[in-house]
Structure 1
Amino acid sequence: MAIDPNFERNREQVDEEDGVAVWGPVDPPETRGIHGIHVAVDFDICLADGACLEDCPVDVFEWMDTPGHPESEIKAHPTHEDQCIDCMLCVDVCPVDAIDVDPSRANRL
């Protein structure tokens, strides 16, 4: 199941980590929510294969520790989503469709 492209309407912002919005539900370690606005990553389905980190030409992502999560104990966190150039490479390479980039949300950062 892919990230919900309508997460802003379907979820509530419950927190902020390293300046990045977190959309619930969140109940660690299993449920980590969606992180980001312009560049959003569903931490609950991210497998942490690293393709987005390798392919992003502007280094939007950094690894974040998520100990105890059943999919992986690290996640691709959109720490620098304000640098995103909307190339969509991260979306294209994510094997589980855990990333959504929406240029219309860039002004909400």
Structure 2
Amino acid sequence: MAIDPHFEETREREGTEREVDVWGPTDPPETLGIRGTHVAVDFDICIGDGACLEDCPVDVFEWVDTPGHPESDRKVNPTNESQCIDCMLCVDVCPVDAIDVDPGRENRI
């Protein structure tokens, strides 16, 4: 199952964590929702392999600990999503399609 590209219409924004929007539902540690808006990572399907973090030319992502999550104990958080240049490398390398980049999305929120 891939990230829902329309999450901002189908999910509620629950607030922010580490200055990144959090889209629910959330019920830690098992359900963590989606993090980010322009660059969005579905924490519930992210396996934390780090391919996006390694390939991103502008360092959008940072590791965050997610102990107890069934997929992985760490995730890549789009902490610096404002630096995104829309190259889509992160989307291309994610083996589970947990990332969505929408160049126009930050203006719709």
Q: State the TM-score, normalizing by the size of structure 1.
A: 0.97
Alpha-carbon offset, residue 93 of structure 1: 0.1
Aligned to 1:79: 79
Aligned to 1:106: 106
Aligned to 1:90: 90
Q: How does 1:26-41 map to 2 (within 5 A)?
A: 26-41=26-41
Structure 2 distance, partners of 1:100, 1:13, is 16
Q: Residue by residue, what CA displacement relative to the aligned partner does 1:89-108 show, whole Å, maximum 9, x if unpaired?
A: 00000000000000001335
Structure 2 distance, partners of 1:108, 1:10, is 14
Structure 2 distance, partners of 1:75, 1:15, is 18
Would you say how many aligned residue pairs link Structure 1 and Structure 2?
A: 109
Q: Residue by residue, what CA displacement relative to the aligned partner does 1:61-88 show, whole Å, maximum 9, x if unpaired?
A: 0001101000001000000000000000
- Aligned partner letter, 2:100: D
Unpaired segments ≥5 residues, structure 1: none
Unpaired segments ≥5 residues, structure 2: none
Structure 1 distance, partners of 2:16, 2:32, is 12
1:38 touches 1:108 (CA, 8 Å); kept in 2? no
**SS of corresponding position for 1:103:** coil
1:82 touches 1:106 (CA, 8 Å); kept in 2? no
Compute the RMSD of aligned alpha carbons.
1.0
* Identity among equivalent pairs (%): 76
